[in-house]
């Protein structure tokens, strides 16, 4: 531990990197912490910081018999989610941020936030958190350093990244690292900002302790800054899971998939195949983020930059995701879930009977039948990926895994069929670019309003969305053997508003068809919109409790619905202005002409 005599004193910093030392000193001079602690990522440090967090009431120990090594954290009730309206991309030119991002001029942002950061760590400790996004030693990996006054953030970053001395060793004397400054400040929403400076490889976040706003390696660096770096360096930073699917014959195929929130991404990444698929195996490489580069063999290779899972708790159970439930059995940090009388956690949608009494996410008594939620709807768990019983042995492979298929999927009650394959790369990019999910009544007051979420990256793209889509198109030139691209939709509904497709493990049937298409093993039926499974040699329906007419409905393509869909896409492309890629607008016109003819 290095104590400060005057703001900015480094003490016994475990590095001689001149740029890192100078930056930490400058930030300390502004924020004025009482002391600086350089984090080393050791077990001893974890024990010491956990005990400190318990002593300060930041963490509540859970029942060691039921949840060994697990703790509960309750955040401020005004600080429970990402704040998109207070998240900014700070580029010199507003046009570079694009119409889908909030923009602030860099010097104005630095000035505004400097006032908020000045003295913000008085009476507090500044933790220096060096971390690596990606497997240690990977040529794809990136180093970041987060300065924070939150021990909760430190303990989460320890789970979510490769943190500590290993990161400093990987950095060496290089000045190429992401500079992240974070302070919880006074948690006043009026003084809460998450600002990204892509041209400086810098993130400043103040006024929030919530994961997506405060764990700067996650959405901030891995996606917003990462996507900007990817455009300039020729790779892709994507909001995608990565899984490996192995057949009984031992053939493993790797798939990346983009799903917006509430579309089952983590469930898919950790899927357990149904009993009819004995001998098949799903293994998780990553559940949320993929960094993809072209390998020397001309294929697209992907790593998961994270080391843990920051998952939504409500709705997670042994039916929806048994492997996630295994992940949170030990060494997990829970945020804003409910607490049982015997020191265990609970949330809505969990297995078993609802307890008669609980302590809710705000620490208040809660009784069964209450109209208020016991756990916050966005309550979370932070679990090490090593807890995952189906973790891929390739999860720490420095070169990552070769991607054979890319899947895009949203939540649509009609129009989009269960699965279709794009005709080619450009058509596949079009499917990803126009992907959308329907809003719920709770969120908007209207059901079925389609919100466009290109590649599930709308909240996370660090530059102009038009340039981002063009970058996807440009990547085809560099990928000699591109993955095949698919679109899926688990959420088609019948006339009574009931989901037709059973989902969860049964999604394995769709994944098997995708794998067979990748390897050229099954014929397809060509439609105006893409290739779909044939009725005679399509999806494996053995043991599937689904009437033939329901399967026909969930896989159907209805021209009138697609005419409306293509019309609805028009405003999205118009919003991109002159940067709407011509290849994609032509795809839309081509589809319209096909449908009309």
Does residue 588 have a known ligand-binding role? no
3-state secondary structure of 322: helix
Quick one: which of 152, 204, 154, 151 has its CA closest to 180? 204
Does residue 380 have a known ligand-binding role? yes
Does residue 191 have a known ligand-binding role? no
SS (H, E, C) 443-480: HHCCCCCEEECHHHCCCCCCCCHHHHHHHHHHHHHHCC
CB 205 within 8 A of CB 68: no
Distance between CA atoms of 366 and 181, rounded to whole angstroms?
A: 37
Residue of 39, 263, 327, 461 with catalytic role: 263
CB 591 within 8 A of CB 564: no
Does residue 299 have a known ligand-binding role? no
CB 400 within 8 A of CB 240: no
Distance between CA atoms of 582 and 433, rounded to whole angstroms?
A: 13
Contacts of 232 (CB under 8 A, 6+ apart): none
The residue to which tokens 């898919």 are assigned: 268
Does residue 288 have a known ligand-binding role? yes
Does residue 267 have a known ligand-binding role? yes
Does residue 505 have a known ligand-binding role? yes
Does residue 217 have a known ligand-binding role? no
The residue to which tokens 């719920």 are assigned: 440
The residue to which tokens 């924020």 are assigned: 31
Does residue 82 have a known ligand-binding role? yes
Q: Is 263 marked active-site?
A: yes
Does residue 264 have a known ligand-binding role? yes
Backbone angles phi, psi at 155, to 5 degrees: -70, -30
Does residue 134 have a known ligand-binding role? no
Write b or e for each residue in 127-157: b if 16 or more Cβ atoms lie within 10 A of its Cβ, otherwise e: bbbbbbbbbeebebbbbbbbbbbbbbbbbbb
The two beta strands, 236-238 and 290-294, are antiparallel
Q: Residue 334 forms beta bridges with which residues?
A: 72, 381
Does residue 265 have a known ligand-binding role? yes
Does residue 227 have a known ligand-binding role? no
CB 2 within 8 A of CB 35: yes
Binding-site residue positions: 82, 210-212, 219, 239, 261-267, 288, 378-380, 411, 504-507
Binding-site residue positions for GTP: 262-267, 380, 411, 504-507
Binding-site residue positions for substrate: 82, 210-212, 261, 378-380
Binding-site residue positions for Mn(2+): 219, 239, 288
- Residues annotated as catalytic are 263
């Amino acid at each position: 531990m290095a104590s400060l005599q005057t703001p900015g004193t480094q003490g016994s910093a475990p590095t001689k990197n001149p740029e890192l030392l100078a930056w930490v000193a400058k930030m300390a001079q502004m924020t004025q912490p009482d002391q600086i602690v350089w984090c080393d990522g050791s077990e001893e440090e974890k024990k010491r910081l956990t005990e400190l967090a318990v002593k300060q009431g930041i963490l509540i120990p859970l029942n060691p018999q039921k949840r060994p090594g697990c703790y509960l954290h309750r955040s401020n009730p005004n600080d429970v989610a990402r704040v998109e309206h207070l998240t900014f991309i700070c580029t010199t030119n507003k046009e570079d941020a694009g119409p889908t991002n909030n923009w602030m001029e860099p010097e104005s942002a630095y000035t505004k936030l400097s006032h908020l950061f000045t003295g913000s760590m008085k009476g507090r400790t500044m933790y220096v958190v060096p971390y690596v996004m990606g497997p240690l030693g990977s040529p794809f990996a990136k180093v970041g350093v987060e300065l924070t006054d939150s021990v909760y953030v430190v303990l989460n970053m320890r789970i979510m990244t490769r943190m500590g001395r290993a990161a400093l060793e990987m950095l060496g004397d290089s000045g190429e690292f992401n500079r992240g400054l974070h302070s919880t400040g006074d948690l006043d929403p009026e003084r809460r900002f998450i600002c990204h400076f892509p041209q400086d490889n810098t993130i400043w976040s103040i006024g929030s302790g919530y994961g997506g706003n405060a764990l700067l390696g996650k959405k901030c660096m891995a996606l917003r800054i990462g996507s900007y770096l990817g455009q300039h360096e020729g790779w892709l930073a994507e909001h995608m899971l990565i899984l490996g699917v192995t057949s009984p014959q031992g053939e493993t195929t790797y798939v990346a998939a983009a799903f917006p929130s509430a579309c089952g991404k983590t469930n898919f990444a950790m899927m357990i195949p149904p009993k009819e698929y004995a001998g098949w195996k799903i293994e998780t490489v990553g559940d949320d983020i993929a960094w993809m580069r072209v390998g020397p063999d001309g294929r697209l290779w992907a790593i998961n930059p994270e080391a843990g899972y920051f998952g939504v708790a409500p709705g997670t159970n042994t039916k929806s995701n048994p492997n996630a439930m295994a992940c949170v059995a030990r060494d997990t940090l829970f945020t804003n879930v409910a607490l049982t009388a015997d020191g265990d956690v609970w949330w809505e949608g969990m297995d078993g009977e609802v307890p008669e009494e609980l302590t809710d996410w705000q620490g208040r008594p809660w009784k069964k039948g209450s109209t208020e939620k016991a756990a916050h709807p966005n309550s979370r768990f932070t679990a090490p990926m090593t807890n995952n019983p189906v973790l891929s042995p390739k999860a720490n492979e420095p070169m990552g895994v070769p991607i054979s298929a890319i899947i895009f999927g949203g939540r649509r009650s009609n129009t989009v069929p269960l699965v279709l394959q794009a005709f080619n790369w450009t058509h596949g990019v079009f499917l990803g670019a126009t992907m959308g999910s329907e809003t719920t009544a709770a969120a908007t007051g209207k059901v079925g309003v389609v919100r466009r979420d290109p590649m599930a990256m709308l909240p996370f793209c660090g530059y102009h969305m038009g340039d981002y889509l063009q970058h996807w198109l440009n990547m085809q030139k560099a990928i000699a053997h591109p993955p095949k691209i698919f679109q899926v939709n688990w959420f088609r509904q019948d006339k009574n508003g009931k989901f037709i497709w059973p989902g969860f493990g049964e999604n394995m049937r769709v994944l098997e068809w995708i794998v067979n298409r990748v390897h050229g093993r099954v014929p397809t039926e060509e439609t105006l919109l893409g290739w779909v499974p044939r009725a005679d040699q399509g999806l494996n329906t053995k043991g599937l409790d689904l009437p033939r007419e329901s399967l026909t409905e969930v896989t159907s393509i209805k021209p009138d619905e697609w005419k409306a869909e293509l019309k609805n896409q028009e405003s999205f492309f118009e919003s991109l202005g002159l940067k709407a890629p011509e290849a994609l607008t032509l795809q839309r016109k081509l589809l319209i002409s096909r449908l009309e003819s």
